[in-house]
Structure 1
Amino acid sequence: MPHHLMNLRHVPDDEADEIRALFEEHEVRYYETPPSRWGISMGGFWVHDDDEAERARQLLQHYQQQRLESQRRSFEERQVRGESVSVVAMLRKHPVRTLAALLAIVVIAGFSLLPFVRIG
């Protein structure tokens, strides 16, 4: 029976490439299904064998812990350098686009809450 190891929806290309290289390096017999463009199927990495699935899950767990630590370090370094993305930073860099997005959020929230405001 196939074992689903990891969902590929919203996984960056560099992470998926690193996982493929990890599986190749450790000779994990896996296969991959791509996620659909419309978000209907999630895609992922799969294996058939129970033992292979356990070994692959351990490799993935170790890899994901390392990736978490490296991404966290990278984020903290960007914050120290002042390169982190925030609403204020986006407002400075792209004022019209940011204000338009904020206005759209307020309008959508207003329309969503309008029926509840009318009830009271």
Structure 2
Amino acid sequence: MPHFLMNLRHVPDDEADEVRALLETNNINYYETPPSRWGISMGGFWVHEADEAERARALLDEYQLNRARDQRADYDRRLAAGEVPSFGQRLARRPLTVIAILLAVALVLGLAVGPFLHW
């Protein structure tokens, strides 16, 4: 029976490549289903054997902790270096886009909360 290991929806290519390398390095026989074009099926990594699934999950848990730590450190480094744009910088760079997004958020909030406000 197949055992699901990891969802591939919204996974960057570098992360998927690292997971493939991790599974191959540890001799885990896996197969991959790609995400659908329309977002209906998520795609993912799978294994057939239960013992391989346990081993793979342990490796993936450790990998994901390390990746999260590394990505957070990279973000903090970029933030300290001023490479992460602030709201004001985004507004200055693309004012129409930012204003359109804010209006869309206000519209959605108004539609969601409006029925509950009785003035």
Question: TM-score normalized by structure 2?
Answer: 0.90
Q: Which sits farther off after the overlay, 78-87 or 6-15?
A: 78-87
3-state SS in 1 of match to 2:45: strand
Give the alignment's Cα RMSD to 1 decimal. 1.5
Q: What amino acid maps onto 1:37 in structure 2?
A: R
**CA displacement at 1:103 relative to structure 2:** 1.3
Alignment of 1:1-120 (within 5 A): 1-118=1-118
Q: Which sits farther off after the overlay, 89-98 or 10-19?
A: 89-98
**CA displacement at 1:85 relative to structure 2:** 4.1
Distance in 2, matches of 1:56 and 1:45, equals 10
Distance in 1, matches of 2:20 and 2:89, equals 35
Q: What amino acid maps onto 1:54 in structure 2?
A: E
Distance in 2, matches of 1:33 and 1:111, equals 38
Q: What amino acid maps onto 1:3 in structure 2?
A: H
**Structure 1 runs of 4+ with >3 Å offset:** none
Say how many residue pairs are matched: 119
Q: Which sits farther off after the overlay, 31-40 or 82-91?
A: 82-91
Unmatched 5+ residue regions in structure 2? none
Q: Which sits farther off after the overlay, 102-111 or 65-74?
A: 102-111
Question: TM-score normalized by structure 1?
Answer: 0.89
**CA displacement at 1:25 relative to structure 2:** 1.5
**CA displacement at 1:107 relative to structure 2:** 1.9
Q: What amino acid maps onto 2:42 in structure 1?
A: M
Distance in 2, matches of 1:32 and 1:62, equals 20
Percent identity at matched positions?
Answer: 56
3-state SS in 1 of match to 2:41: coil
Q: What amino acid maps onto 1:102 in structure 2?
A: L
CA offsets 1:79-114 (integer angstroms, 9 cap, x no match): 101122443332122111111111121122222322
3-state SS in 1 of match to 2:117: helix
